[in-house]
Amino acid sequence: MATGDAERALAQAGEAYLPGGLARVYPQGTRINSGGRVEIGGCDTVELAREFGTPAYVYAEDDMRARARATVEAFAARTERFEVVYASKAFPCTAAMRIFAEEGLSCDVASGGELHLALRAGFAPERIYMHGNNKSEPELEYAVTSGVGHIVVDSFDEIERLERVGGASAQPVLLRVTPGIDTDTHLKIQTGQLDSKFGIPLAHLERAVERCATAGLQLRGLHAHIGSQVNDLSVYEALTDVLRDIGDFPLLNLGGGFAIAYTREDRPPPVAEYAEAMLRRVPDGVTVLCEPGRSLVGNAGVTLYTVGTVKEIPGVRTYVSVDGGMSDNIRPMLYGATYEADLVERLGDSVPCRLVGMHCESGDVLVPEAALENPRPGDVLAVGATGAYGHAMANNYNAVCRPPVIFCRGGEARVVVRRETYDDLTRRDAE
C-alpha cells in the first residue's frame, strides 16, 4: 500500500455504509447488511450477540492493522528516524498486542503485568519501553532480566531502586520530564502540567541527569507525555521546544494523546497532522518516538449490550437499562467520557432517553442524553468507540463477570478473551 493510502482508506471507510458521521465512530468497513443490521468485520452484530452473549467487546481486526499502518506511514513520509510505540494500557489484550507486534510497532508497558502480556504477545524485549510513576523493585528486576530495551525513569527514588537491581548498571533509560504544559483535554487525563504525579520537574532535571550517570545507567533520551485526547496540535511543538532546550539526546519520546471520534460530530485531526506537529521542531539526527494507544484501538471496537428494561417516567425521562454498565465501561463515571448508542437493527433517534447500566449506583450512566429508535426489551444495542480502556478498566462490581473480547475479520468471529464465569469470581478465594 503506497504512503498515505492507509490513512485515506480509514478516512473514507464506512462512508457508503453508515449514515451521517457514524462512519467516524464505528470500525472501518462497518455497514448495514441486507437484513438491516449493523455488521462489523463482516459479522452480523445480532448473531454475535446470540452466539457470544452480551455484554461483549467486539473488534474489527482489519481496522487495528490499518490504523497501525497509517500511523507508521504518516511518520515514514516525513522522516527515517522514528519509532511508533503502542501504548498497551489502552487495550492490554494479548491478541491485540500480537497484531501490533506483527505490524512492526514497539510497545509501551506500565506494569509488570503489561510487560508479561507484551512478551507473551511476541514483542522483542528490546522493542519494549517500561513506564510507570511507581515501579516496584521486583518490576524493575523483571524488566532488566527480560532485556527490556528502555526503562523510562520517573523519579529519583526509581534510580535508587535500579541501583539495587542486579545487572541494571548499563540499562538504557529515558528520563520522563514534567514539561509544565497544559492541554485542551479533561483534567483527569492531563499528564504534562507542572502539578502532576508523572515525571521529573524541569528544575530537578540537571540533577537527575547527573544521578543517572553516577548510577551507571545509559541515558539515551527524554520522554514526556502531555495528556490524552489532544486536539490542539500546537502543544507538541511547545513540548519539542522544551525537550530540545534541555540538551542533546539521540531519542525524544513525545508521548501519544492522539484524539479519536467518540460522537458523530467529532472531527479529530488526521494522524498525518500529529506526525507533522511532532516532527516540525525536532533537531536533525534525533529519533522521535510516539506512543499512540487510543487512536489505534478506540474506534476499532464497540460494546454490544442487550436492552432489559425500558422505564418511562412521565414528564421526566425514559430510562433504557442494559445488561452492563460501569463494570465494562467506567469512563463516563470516572471523568465524564461521552459516547453515543445505537440499536443495531434500527438506526434512528425517535426516543430521547438515558442509557443506564444494571449496577447498584445511580451514577451508572453510559449515555446521559441518548436517542434510540423505539427501544424495546431484547434489542441489541451498540456503543461505538469503546475499543480503548473498556476492557482495560473492566471490573467485577456487583460480582458481574467481565465480558469476552471478540475479533471479527472477513465474516469470521473468534473469541480472544473468554467471558468470565461465576467460578472465576471465587477462583482466588483462600478458603
Q: What is the mean pLDDT of residues 58-63?
A: 98
Task: Tell me what pLDDT residue 102 has.
Answer: 98
Mean pLDDT taken over the chain: 92
Assess whether pLDDT exceeds 90 at residue 419.
yes
Instruction: Give catalytic residue positions.
Output: 360
Most trustworthy range by pLDDT among 3-17, 86-100, 163-177, 242-256: 86-100
Question: pLDDT tens for residues 361-375?
Answer: 999 999 999 999 999
Q: Could you give the CA distance from residue 370 to residue 349 in angstroms, rounded to a whole number? A: 8
Task: Tell me what pLDDT residue 84 has.
Answer: 98
Assess whether pLDDT exceeds 50 at residue 187.
no
What structural domains does the chain harbor? 5-60+298-426 (2.40.37.10), 62-294 (3.20.20.10)
Among 397, 398, 431, 403, smallest CA distance to 417 is for 403
Assess whether pLDDT exceeds 70 at residue 316.
yes
Predicted TM-score (pTM) of the model is: 0.93
Contact (Cβ atoms closer than 8 angstroms) between residue 40 and residue 58: yes
Q: What is the mean pLDDT of residues 51-76?
A: 98
Question: pLDDT tens for residues 379-391?
Answer: 999 999 999 999 9
Among 394, 417, 257, smallest CA distance to 331 is for 394
Confidence of residue 1 (pLDDT cuts 50, 70, 90): very low
Task: Tell me what pLDDT residue 186 has.
Answer: 40
Assess whether pLDDT exceeds 90 at residue 212.
yes
Q: What is the mean pLDDT of residues 327-332?
A: 98
Q: What is the mean pLDDT of residues 134-144?
A: 97
Place of cell 525524544: 252
Please, which residues bridge with residue 40 across strands? 43
Give the list of residues 6+ apart from residue 118 with CB closer than 8 angstroms, or none: 88, 97, 107, 109, 128
Q: Could you give the CA distance from residue 417 to residue 244 in angstroms, rounded to a whole number? A: 43
**Between 285 and 18, the higher pLDDT residue:** 285
Question: pLDDT tens for residues 25-46?
Answer: 999 999 999 999 999 999 999 9
For helices 156-164 and 137-146, give the axis angle rounded to 10 degrees.
60
Assess whether pLDDT exceeds 60 at residue 157.
yes
Assess whether pLDDT exceeds 90 at residue 53.
yes
Question: pLDDT tens for residues 273-309?
Answer: 999 999 999 999 999 999 999 999 999 999 999 999 9
